[in-house]
Amino acid sequence: MSSPTNPPQNRYRVTGPDVDLATEDVRDSKGRRITEDYARRAAEYDPAAVRRGRRSLTGGSTHSPRVSFRVPESLRTAAEEAAAREGKSVSELAREALEQYLAS
């Protein structure tokens, strides 16, 4: 976790001498060739600007609270099958069931 007294660690480090990307074939971890343009975009990349996680169910940038609970394997399997039939996630199915229960 970063803070003013504990700054975030840089994920990148210098591992060797400078390289001429125009003449040398350097690849990233996915096998893509690293060019000067690739290196420039990587240096400008701001991971803090990337939205993480799913959209808020509450709206806007508000955090949606998480509720978790344990169920027997048979109930999980039945929920997964029902969700697949309805084209929903198990979370959507569980949210709807909880909303219906609390509305009754």
- Confidence (pLDDT) at 3: 53
Decide if 79 contacts 96 (C-beta within 8 A): no
pLDDT digits (tens, 9 = 90+) for 48-67: 776 666 777 877 777 788 89
Structure pTM? Answer: 0.47
Tokens for 9, please give them.
């660690």
For the chain, the average pLDDT equals 82
pLDDT digits (tens, 9 = 90+) for 22-39: 888 888 888 889 998 988
Distance, CA of 13 to CA of 15 (rounded, Å): 6
Decide if 92 contacts 98 (C-beta within 8 A): no
